[in-house]
Structure 1
Amino acid sequence: MSTISTVYSGNLRTQATHNASGNTIITDAPTDNNGRGEAFSPSDLVCAALGSCMLTIMGIVAERNNIQLEGTTLEIKKIMAAEPRRIAEVVIGFNMPDSNTFTDKEKAILENAARTCPVALSLHPEIKQTVAFNY
């Protein structure tokens, strides 16, 4: 059985369904590529997947090491290249919770977890991943 089923709805829009849960995601082509830009573009989802994967793996490591990670947020900026049109760089800024003082060891554990998440390791090496941690 497949993990995801996707249908083209027309007008450069798709709807993907996660088969196990039934959750759906709609994508639109961005306005700078003939689309309406009314939803995530497919390349936006790649960037969102990278950030979510990093934070999820950090969460797994935090639970194992009794590190409080709740309240951590991140901001993502996608930078596109023109020729060929592709993601050139993903800039991610983590904002760690003010309520926690992290030791140098904890910072190293969390940052390594983020940088070695499955999505980060799956992206083409030409896609620059710029990651900053704000403690």
Structure 2
Amino acid sequence: MTNTVKTTWKGDMKFESTNPSGLNLMIDAGPDDGGKGEGYRPKALMLSALAGCSGLDVVSLLKKMRAEVDEFNIDITAELTEEHPKYFKKVHVVYNFYGSDFKKDKIEKSVNLSVDRYCGVMEMFRQFAEVTTEIKYIEN
């Protein structure tokens, strides 16, 4: 399967990128780098892709296992290398589940399946970074 996007320069440091879904997104640098901050930063977009990929897996698996939670979000902290080209060398992914009476075995199975088997973006990150994960339960 081939994925294709087209990214077009819109002036200054701004680009517009197509998406197979038909929804386009803007990419821009911050003011310190000559941009106006009117779009996603490329490296932050990579982290959003990682969270989105794994999050979609987890939600789908939780639904199939009948282990729904009240709320769910993912926090990612990433550390860049010092030298150019700067890339993420360490990435920590925290899965936050909110609710009560958690089905922890099913939640952990869902996260582990995403991390170890289903999330292609996670696998891509593992090619260049040390990736660690953590699950947190927050009682409502």
TM-score range (shorter-chain normalised) is 0.7 to 0.9
Give the paired residue count: 133
* CA deviation map 1:91-131 (0-9, x unaligned): 2222102234123x313312212313111012253312232
Query: In structure 2, do the counterparts of structure 1 residues 34 and 91 end up closer, same or farther at CA, with 3 Å as the change threshold?
Result: farther
For residues 37 and 90 of structure 1, what CA distance do their matches in structure 2 show? 24
8 Å CA contact 1:44, 1:78 repeated in 2: no
Give the aligned partner of residue 52 of structure 1: 52
Contact 2:95 2:134 (8 Å CA) reproduced: yes
Does the 8 Å CA contact 2:76/2:94 hold for their aligned counterparts? yes
Please state whether the residue corresponding to 2:67 is helix, strand or coil.
coil
Give the corresponding residue for 1:25: 25
Alpha carbons of structure 1 residues 9 and 16: separation in structure 2 relative to 1, 3 Å: same
CA contact (8 A) 1:6 1:17 kept: yes
State the one-letter code of the partner of 1:14. Answer: F
CA-atom RMSD, angstroms? 2.4
The unaligned stretches of length 5 or more in structure 2 are: none
Amino acid across the alignment from 2:5: I
Aligned 8 A contact 1:79 1:89 in 2: yes
Name 2:111's counterpart in structure 1.
111
Residues 134 and 67 (structure 1 numbering): CA distance in 2 closer, same or farther, change over 3 Å?
Answer: same
> Cα offset for 1:2?
5.9
Structure 1: unaligned runs, 5 residues or longer: none
The aligned residue for residue 88 of structure 2 is 87
Compute the TM-score of the two structures, normalised by the length of structure 2.
0.78
Q: Distance in 1 between matches of 2:41 and 2:127?
A: 21
Per mean C-alpha deviation after superposition, the further-off stretch among 31-40 and 125-134 is: 31-40
Amino acid at match of 1:17: T
4+ residue stretches of structure 1 with deviation over 3 A? 30-38
- SS of the residue corresponding to residue 8 of structure 2 reads strand
* Corresponding residue of 2:103: 102
